[in-house]
Structure 1
Amino acid sequence: MAQLEQNFENTLFKLIPQTKNLGMKIDRIEDHQITVHGDYALNKNHLDIVFGGSIAAISITTAWSLVQHKVEQAGLKGNLVIKRQEIDYLLPVKTDFECKANFQSADDWDNFVNTYRDKGRAKIIVTAQILSESKITSKFQGVFVLYQ
């Protein structure tokens, strides 16, 4: 794991301790995407598939992590929270998995930063997908708000 990912993972576990219990590991942080590894054994339910609540929590946290990392990188100060979320469960997850979060478009981040600097509050939409065995198993969309 690269230093950037290790440092952010440590920050994540400090800010949201429950994420460590979910077995989340930051794999890659890129400019407009983050990839997180999810542990099947820590998140399976009585049907031997990953619990829907874990999928939702990991999707929200991965999307939040993308925005939080970019907020820190930009030197913005404020509180980042989720305002709204929607998730579609497409296939059961029976193995370790990954979650990838992205902004909807390339312009979203710049618009978010400019709005925050002008108004002290901004929102951004982030999408995430859980992938298992090279298949998309769920799709998430969340609205995140940064405020002073």
Structure 2
Amino acid sequence: MSQLEQNFQNTLFKLIPQTKNLGIKITKIDEHQITVHGDYALNKNHLNIVFGGSIAAISITTAWSLVQSKIEQAGLKGNLVIKRQEIDYLLPVKTDFECVASFHSADDWERFEKTYQEKGRAKIVVTAQIISEARATSKFQGVFVLYQ
């Protein structure tokens, strides 16, 4: 984990303390993508699979983290919230896993930043997948809004 990932993970746990209980670790932040490692043991349910609520919470957290880290890197000030989300559960998760969140296209961030600077409010769509045993086990899409 580089200093960027460590610093943002500390920020995440400070801004949203509950996320620490999910047993996640930010492993990589790229220009348009973030990867989080998830702990099976901390998120399993009575069926010995990862609890659907954990999958949803980790997907939202990972997607939010991508946008929030970009906001911080760009020096923008405002409040980031989720407006809408949808998730499809494809396969059960029986091991540690990764959640990978990204923007729909490379132009999304630039449009988002420009709109925010012009209007003081902007929205962006982020997708995320839980990957376990080299397979996508869920697909998430969320709309996030930054406002002053």
Same fold? TM cut 0.5: yes
Q: 2:6 — aligned with what?
A: 6
TM-score, normalised by the number of residues in structure 2:
0.99
Secondary structure of the residue aligned to 1:72 is helix
How far the C-alpha of 1:16 sits from its partner, in A, is: 0.6
Q: 2:45 — aligned with what?
A: 45
Q: Which runs of 5+ in 2 are unaligned?
A: none
C-alpha distance in structure 1 between counterparts of 2:33 and 2:106, whole Å: 11
Q: 2:89 — aligned with what?
A: 89
C-alpha distance in structure 1 between counterparts of 2:61 and 2:22, whole Å: 10
Q: What are the equivalent positions in structure 2 for 1:29-68 lying under 5 Å apart?
A: 29-68=29-68
Cα deviation code 1:74-109 (max 9, x no counterpart): 110000000000000000000000000000001100
Q: 2:143 — aligned with what?
A: 143
C-alpha distance in structure 1 between counterparts of 2:115 and 2:88, whole Å: 30
Identity %, equivalent residues: 84
TM-score, normalised by the number of residues in structure 1:
0.99
Moved over 4 A (4+): none
Cα deviation code 1:25-69 (max 9, x no counterpart): 000000000000000000000000000000000000000000000
The answer to whether residue 13 in structure 2 is matched with residue 19 in structure 1 is no
C-alpha distance in structure 1 between counterparts of 2:61 and 2:55, whole Å: 10
Q: Which runs of 5+ in 1 are unaligned?
A: none
The one-letter code of the counterpart of 2:67 is V
Count of matched residue positions in the alignment of Structure 1 and Structure 2:
148
The one-letter code of the counterpart of 1:79 is N
Give the RMSD, CA atoms, in angstroms. Answer: 0.3
Q: 1:121 — aligned with what?
A: 121
C-alpha distance in structure 1 between counterparts of 2:8 and 2:34, whole Å: 11
Q: 1:72 — aligned with what?
A: 72
How far the C-alpha of 1:12 sits from its partner, in A, is: 0.4
Q: 2:101 — aligned with what?
A: 101
Q: 2:131 — aligned with what?
A: 131
